Amino acid sequence: MIDAKTTTPAKTKASRFSLAQRRTIVGYIFITPFILGFIFWFLTPALVAANLTFQKWNLISAPRYIGFQNIERLFNDPILLQSLKSTLIYTFASVPVGLIFAFFLALLINTQIPGIAIFRTIYFLPSIVPAVAGALLWAWIFNTEFGLLNAAIRALGGAKIAWLQEPSWAMIAFIIMSTWGVGGAMIIFLAGLQGIPDVYYEAADLDGAGRWNKLVNVTIPLMSPVIFFNLIIGFINSFQVFVQALLMTNGGPQNSTLFLVLYIYRTAFQSTNMGYAAALSWLLFFFLMIFSFIVFKVLGNRVYYEAPGN
Amino acid sequence: MALRKVSNKPGSEKAWHWFTIFLLFFFAVLMFIPFLWLLTSSFKTQNQIFQYPPSWIPNPFRPGNYVRALTYKPFALYFRNSMIIATLNVIAVVFTASFCAYGFARIRFKGREFWFGVVMATLFLPYTILIVPNFLIFTKLGWVNTFLPLTVPLFFGGGAFNIFLLRQFFRTIPEELADAARIDGCTEFGIYWRIFLPLAKPALITVGIFTFLAAWNDLLGPIIYLRSPDKFTVAAGLASFRSQTDISWDLQLAAATAMTVPVILLFFFTQRYFIKGIVMTGLKG
């Protein structure tokens, strides 16, 4: 049905265009949705944001150009400094912890014992729990008086912890919560592990390599592209942490969980300072760019790629 | 890896085997406890929830929490709204991302490398960095408080990440298949529609599930763009539940469980394709 419509114009064009030209036309037809989307939802908003950075606008009165004031404010905003600090601490703690845990779980479930599918499912499920539902659940687990975690700590003889009321404990609480949801990274690691040909391990056996040796000298080098992939995804996601901070602590205590996206959200939609929110968005953009660049430069070269054909 | 190889020391091998099994159970319990806690708490009375030490068995057993929670706010309506948005997102991604991916994977044309470079450049840029300007654009278009900001953009390519994944997959399909169809007079659109889409079913299902989950779980988009409560999604409804302090924990936990159930059901029904799809889309590196 679709062919009937599309063949006719293609056939008439055949007489007017060369094969290469026709291929170019067809190629561009295929990628047109992306090109339009890029212009509408990426390039245009980026320009709007650039323009907005030089304005003061609260959505109600008319926008007013204020020069570089918003950008100057970026450099002496103590709340922003705290927000950046929190975001970086969270990222640099939760991503490595999460990756190591995900890798470890992937090694555990990469076995052929009866019922292994059940374990895989149990480990994976937390990662698909909606963030809102997860935030409610963990807010309750971390509850100081009646929460499950403090009940366990007290049963073991410890003192209860004010998880979401103490700045440093709140950060640890967020890291624990994110570690619970590493199932996605784990499944990707598992797929990678299953793609490692047995011959490598057989060769290592012949050399008398032990388990630790095989892990360090065979598995990890061969998994480096997957580790790299999960690392990037992990960083991008943790830079955007928002829902849990909004619902569990609302940025507190003492702004210790006022992560960057939450700060942007507040500036834009609660203080309705659109200009400064745009400036903050640009800052987040530059952070992600610099960050991806460093990761690619530093780690990109060390990542081991097997010859293609797999 | 742990059980992969049989070494020449059967004794230590056996100990290792049991150690692995112990670890499997240990972490399964650890990962599952929060679920169990959510589930049992959602059937408790408010009195029993605020009880120390906490107990695991709800007594009295209160399934009525669900009825009260889900009627306290119009969750049936929220559910419908979430379903509409998520379904439209899945349709958008499955068709437009695969369409663009076919162009990038299988047609050689001038400018392809450039545009694919653009795809790669936007791959790791989250939509959160553009929420502020996008909000203004959607306000100008008069789209605020409709589902349009949450659905229409995905019909334009369906996201760089999905294009990338499907392109990787399409590149693994042998060219002979397409050539045979071309000889039979099939157009590129015909090859895409009749050969590549059916072959890509597991990859499309994977991408579709990820899209559905992202739409179902998204909070930032709905709380920015949807203003009147009758437009709320389940996520937005549950978040507004949370911010009203008069609502008790028994209802909050019941509603949170109710929001999680559809996601888990979806996972169980599609599990087979899901894992296969992750492997096939070349996510393994």
Select from A5, A136, A283 the residue whose CB has the most chain B CBs within 10 Å, as the one to mutate to test that interface.
Answer: A136
Provide mean pLDDT across the span A270-278.
92
Instruction: Name the least confident of A161-175, B151-165, B168-182.
Output: B168-182
What was the pLDDT predicted at A51?
Answer: 92
What is the least distance, in Å, from the CA of B230 to any CA of chain A?
Answer: 19
Select from A19, A24, A31 the residue whose CB has the most chain B CBs within 10 Å, as the one to mutate to test that interface.
Answer: A31
B249: contact with A, CB 8 A cutoff: yes
- Percentage of chain A beyond pLDDT 70 is 92
What confidence tier does A304 reach under pLDDT thresholds 50, 70, 90? low
CB contact under 8 A, A34 and B100: yes
Is the pLDDT at A209 greater than 60? The verdict is yes
Provide mean pLDDT across the span B157-182.
88
Select B66-280's CATH number: 1.20.1430.10, 3.30.1490.190, 3.40.50.150, 1.10.3720.10. 1.10.3720.10
How many cross-chain Cβ pairs, A to B, lie less than 8 Å apart?
294
A283: contact with B, CB 8 A cutoff: no
Is the pLDDT at B5 greater than 50? The verdict is no
Q: Which residues of A touch B135 (CB under 8 A)?
A: 268-269
B53: contact with A, CB 8 A cutoff: yes
- pLDDT tens-digit series, residues A147-201: 899 999 999 998 999 999 999 999 999 999 999 999 989 988 998 898 888 899 9
Question: Among A241, A238, A240, A231, which residue's Cα sits nearest to residue A296?
Answer: A231
B109: contact with A, CB 8 A cutoff: yes
Helix B10-41 with A116-124: angle, nearest 10 deg? 50
B244: contact with A, CB 8 A cutoff: no
Buried b (16+ CB within 10 A) or exposed e, B249-275: bbbbbbbbbbbbebbeebbeebeebbb
CB contact under 8 A, B190 and A6: yes
CB contact under 8 A, B284 and A130: no
Report the C-alpha gap between A144 and A254 in whole angstroms. Answer: 18
Q: To the nearest 10°, the Cα dihedral for B66, B68, B69, B71?
A: 110
Residue with tokens 């601490």: A89
Q: Residue ranges per domain, chain A?
A: 2-52, 77-300
Select A77-300's CATH number: 3.40.50.360, 3.40.50.300, 3.40.350.10, 1.10.3720.10. 1.10.3720.10
Q: Which residues of B touch A102 (CB under 8 A)?
A: none
What is the least distance, in Å, from the CA of A300 to any CA of chain B?
Answer: 13
What confidence tier does A7 reach under pLDDT thresholds 50, 70, 90? very low
What was the pLDDT predicted at B222?
Answer: 95
Residue of A31, A41, A136 with shortest CB distance to B252: A136
Provide mean pLDDT across the span A283-309.
72
- pLDDT tens-digit series, residues B51-88: 888 888 888 888 888 998 888 889 999 999 999 999 99
Is the pLDDT at A309 greater than 70? The verdict is no
Do residues B163 and B100 lie in contact, with contact meaning Cβ atoms separated by under 8 Å? yes
Q: Residue ranges per domain, chain B?
A: 10-65, 66-280
What is the residue type of A111? Answer: T
- pLDDT tens-digit series, residues B30-60: 999 999 999 999 999 888 888 888 888 888 8
Provide mean pLDDT across the span A238-243.
90
Is the pLDDT at B126 greater than 90? The verdict is no
Helix B160-170 with B112-123: angle, nearest 10 deg? 130
